[in-house]
Amino acid sequence: MFNLADLKAAKQTISQYMPATAQYSWPLLNERIGKQVWIKHENHTPTGAFKVRGGLLHLSALKAAGFTGGLISATRGNHGQSLAFASKQTGIPVTIIVPEGNCTEKNAAIQALGATLIIHGKDFDEARFHAAELAKKHNLQTVPAFHPDLVTGVATYAYEFFQTAPELDKVYVGIGMGSGICGLIMVRDLLGLKTKIIGVISKNAPAYALSIAKGEVVTTKTANTFADGVACRMPDKQAFKVIQNGVDHIVQVGDDAIRHAIRCYYTDTHNLAEGAGAIGLAGLMHELDSEKDEKLGTILSGGNINMAMFNQIISPIH
C-alpha cells in the first residue's frame, strides 16, 4: 500500500500540523509488569489518538488536488475527530455520523472543530450505512476507515515508534477497524524488524479473532463493549488480509481487564486512557511470561474517555 518514500513524505506533510509524539518507558509501570515496557503516546496528538495522522494526510492530498466538495464518514469518535481537525486545517467541509449513545465528549469535540454532526443508528455499522445513503443523496465523498491515505498517515506513528524506541520483541495493539495494527505490521516489514505484532480485541467484540480463526471475514451481530473504539462487528476485508498475513496472534480480553489497564495508566503514568486506548496494555498484561527477558511495547491511542465512566472505573483505587 505504501513504501518507505511514501511514509517519509507522509511524515513530512503531517509534521506541518503536529510534532512527533513521545514514547516513554515508565518506571512504575515497568515495576508492575516486571519488564521494560515502552508506551507510544498517541494520546498526545491534537485529538488524543493516532487517527488524526490519516485525516491530515488525506485532506491535505485532496486540497492539493483541488477538491471542492464535501466529505462524510461514520465514526465512534476518534476517526471523526481526525477528519474534523483536518477539516479545520484545510477548509474542506466534513459531515460525521455517530450512533446513538455515543460518547458525549467525543461528539462535543467533533462539533467544536467545526464538523457537522449527525446522530443515527444503534451502533457504528448502522451509522456507516446511513453515511453511505447521505453520500449518495447529497453528492458527498465518503471516507472509509481503511482508505490508503488514512493507513499511510496512521503508519507514521509506527515509523516514529520503531525508529526511536529500542528494538522491541513484541508490540501489543488494539484492533478497531484495523488501520493502527496494519500500520505497525507494514512498517515493521518495511524496516526489516523481527518484532512480533500482537492484536488485542474485546471478548465482547470478537469479529477479528473469529475471522483469523476461520481464514475469512466473519461478522457478528453485536459488539457490546464499553471500549467503543474496538467495537467492530464487520471487519474490513483489506485490513483483514494484512492482519492475517502479519499478526503473530490475537489476544481477547474482558472489559474488566480493560478497566484495570485504564487504572494502571492513570496511577503509573498519570495519563487518561479510554477503553480502546488501554486495550493494548490489557492484552500485554493478560499473557505476561515472567520467565522471558524481553522488551515490550504498546500503543496508548485514545484519551477521550467519558468523565462519568472514568470516575466509575477509577473509584476502586480510593
Give tens-digit pLDDT for 267-276: 999 999 999 9
Report whether pLDDT(117) > 50: yes
- Domains of the chain with CATH codes: 4-50+148-317 (3.40.50.1100), 51-142 (3.40.50.1100)
Placement of cell 502479519 in the chain: 246
The pLDDT-based confidence of 316 (bands split at 50, 70, 90) is: low
C-alpha pair distances (Å), 88 with each of 97, 115, 252, 269, 313: 17, 8, 37, 31, 33
Report whether pLDDT(318) > 80: no
Q: Report percent pLDDT > 70 for the chain.
A: 99
Report the C-alpha dihedral over residues 74, 78, 81, 86, rounded to 10 degrees.
-100
Placement of cell 472543530 in the chain: 113
Residues 6+ apart with CB under 8 A from 81: 47, 48, 49, 51, 52, 75, 106, 109, 110, 113, 304
The pLDDT-based confidence of 317 (bands split at 50, 70, 90) is: low
pLDDT confidence of residue 102: 87
Mean pLDDT throughout 208-215? 95
pLDDT confidence of residue 291: 72
Q: pTM of the prediction?
A: 0.92
Task: List the Cα angle 29/311/79 in 5-degree steps.
Answer: 75
- Count Cβ atoms below 10 Å from residue 280 Cβ, excluding itself: 32
